[in-house]
Amino acid sequence: MKLVINGQHKPIDDSVISVSDLISFLELGVKTVVVEWNDQILSKDLHSTTKLADGDKIEIVHFVGGG
């Protein structure tokens, strides 16, 4: 499957079915992330039930501490 992630077309393994699978696949698991799926911001409780399809547009923002 091909997704558009943060503006870049990326091939993603077919085992990635949901947004939470994608977060794990991208190794963002424990970080706080905000996900926009096809122009809709998803609350965290929807990550596991939102199914991905070829061509979906995903924007992922995660926060990095520092000073």
Low-confidence ranges of the chain (pLDDT < 70): 29-31, 66-67
pLDDT reported for residue 64 = 72
Separation of alpha carbons 8 and 31, rounded Å: 21
pLDDT reported for residue 48 = 95
Nearest to 19 by CA among 9, 11, 7, 29: 29
- The model carries a pTM of 0.87
Separation of alpha carbons 2 and 11, rounded Å: 4
Contact 56, 2 (CB under 8 A): no
11: which 2 tokens? 């091939």
Residue recorded with tokens 């990550």: 47
